[in-house]
Structure 1
Amino acid sequence: MPRGRAARTEPARIERSGANEVVAQRTRHDHDATVPPDVTAAIREAIVRGEFAPNQRLVESDLAEQFGAGRGGVRTALVELAHEGLVERIQNRGARVRAVTVAEAIEISEVRMVVEGLCAAKAAEAVTDAEIAELRTLGEAMRTAVASGNVLEYSELNQTLHRRVIEISGQGTAADVLERLRAKNVRHQFRLALVPGRPSVSVTEHLAIVDGICARDPTRAEHAARGHLVSVIEALRATGPGSV
């Protein structure tokens, strides 16, 4: 009889165990649904937008509350962003936004010169009629922003043009590389936009890139893109040492 009772109750224990596992899976699923799909991307974008200043401490509990994520997810994100060079982790002191020196910004721009030149050439080969019209409209908007002295709008349009050229090129590997470099260098780019006279120089260079792509001339487009980054490097050198 004891063995019989054990035999009858064992399936019940298995059934309850299975039910508990289902509940646990549902609980984990419900919890995951409330966590942003990519905390790393959210923090990275906040740094790019300037929500966090260079050398500012990044407190895990504050970030968890701001982005609606668990502290474990935030901690993992900070480790990944440290590998990207956006965040600096200091032993026993946590993490902070990493400042980028002018020398490093120049190195980044030198890499961008090669990769964005490639993307401009690829875009010239792949661009459609609709995309040509889009790039022309974007170029005119940039010209108008500079003429009206709207530096912030011009800076945003600048970023949009670079992003669209990369997207049109279809070069996914280059897009990944440039996204990481953009995040590290965006503060210097905005700083350059504030230099008197720089937007007028920059918009002419960007319009040359647009012209090369819209003419479907890869050599011309690549030359214009590389020429623009050479100009950026010269402008960075003129700003002198420091970090942002």
Structure 2
Amino acid sequence: MTAVTSTTTRTDLTKTLRDAIVSGEYAPNQRLIEADLSSTYGASRAAVRTALLELGGEGLVDRLPNRGSRVRAIPLTEAIEILEVRMGLEGLCAAKAAENITDTEIAEFHRLRADILTASESDLFEYSRLNQQLDRRIRELAHHPTAVSILERLRAQGVRHQFRLAFYPGRAAVSAPEHAAIIDAITARDAAAAERATRVHLQSVIDALRTIG
């Protein structure tokens, strides 16, 4: 668990708590007690309260009248709705990345493609990490702060369902070629194909989530 120093800003505390919730350090419906969080992270009660209010606004925390806060459990139906919204935004980012990518970044993406395909066959934890790295690099190359800001909030809400899906038997064999297709389109600087490949992948994620429940 990450400690927060006395000089940590409110923004840092919010990010630390967000990361802990997204990673599963705090389980869905788990109570978030301000005094405990204050002690754990070395932050004031006021800073903790403000961070929880901000995370409530992001849909990650439920504020309960006279009962404090708890980690919000995102139902499957809502996770699918989030993915449907992300489809458009992530398609846009992939298209922008294809337009902006440099020769040096193309070489980087080719290496990432090879690593993703290799990890999908032998190391699902590394495969999941590499997929997150790919998503992050696409957002960075998009140079679209508005889309990225909205995406980061939406991804945080639905990440638990996708993390569970990543380790579902046989899923990596389906998703790895989809990620490779996205990379191929971006490195070919084909914006339309990059957007299309991204939509295909996210629709595949939606279909798989509906199947496994």
Do they fold alike, i.e. is TM over 0.5? yes
Cα distance in structure 1, aligned partners of 2:41 and 2:114:
37
Cα distance in structure 2, aligned partners of 1:166 and 1:46:
22
- The one-character-per-residue Cα deviations of 1:22-64 (angstroms, maximum 9, x if unpaired) are xxxxxxxxxxx82312211111011111110111110111111
Residue in 2 aligned with 1:156?
A: 129
- Structure 1 residue aligned with 2:69, among 95, 110, 115? 95
- The one-character-per-residue Cα deviations of 1:143-162 (angstroms, maximum 9, x if unpaired) are 111111x1111111111101
Q: Which amino acid aligns with 1:124?
A: A
Structure 1: runs of 5+ lacking an equivalent: 1-32
Residue in 2 aligned with 1:107?
A: 81
Larger Rg: 1
Q: Which amino acid aligns with 2:91?
A: G
Cα distance in structure 1, aligned partners of 2:26 and 2:124:
21
Q: CA deviation at 1:93?
A: 1.3
Cα distance in structure 2, aligned partners of 1:133 and 1:88:
44
Residue in 1 aligned with 2:39?
A: 65
SS of structure 2 residue aligned to 1:178: helix
Q: Which amino acid aligns with 1:190?
A: F
Instruction: Check whether the contact 1:142–1:203 (CA below 8 A) recurs between aligned residues.
Output: yes
Q: CA deviation at 1:130?
A: 1.1
Residue in 2 aligned with 1:117?
A: 91
Cα distance in structure 1, aligned partners of 2:188 and 2:56:
41
Q: How well do the aligned residues superpose, as a CA RMSD in angstroms?
A: 1.1
Structure 2: runs of 5+ lacking an equivalent: none
Residue in 2 aligned with 1:23?
A: none
Residue in 1 aligned with 2:194?
A: 221
Q: CA deviation at 1:239?
A: 1.9
Moved over 3 A (4+): none
User: Is 1:186 equivalent to 2:159 in the alignment?
Assistant: yes
Residue in 2 aligned with 1:199?
A: 172
Residue in 1 aligned with 2:205?
A: 232
Instruction: Check whether the contact 1:35–1:68 (CA below 8 A) recurs between aligned residues.
Output: no
Q: Which amino acid aligns with 1:238?
A: T
Cα distance in structure 2, aligned partners of 1:81 and 1:100:
14
Cα distance in structure 2, aligned partners of 1:83 and 1:205:
33
Instruction: Check whether the contact 1:36–1:67 (CA below 8 A) recurs between aligned residues.
Output: no
Taking every aligned residue pair, what percent have the same amino acid on both sides?
58
Q: CA deviation at 1:170?
A: 0.5
Moved more, 135-144 or 69-78: 135-144
Cα distance in structure 2, aligned partners of 1:98 and 1:138:
34
TM-score where L is the length of structure 2 = 0.94
**How many residues were matched structurally?**
207
Residue in 2 aligned with 1:138?
A: 112
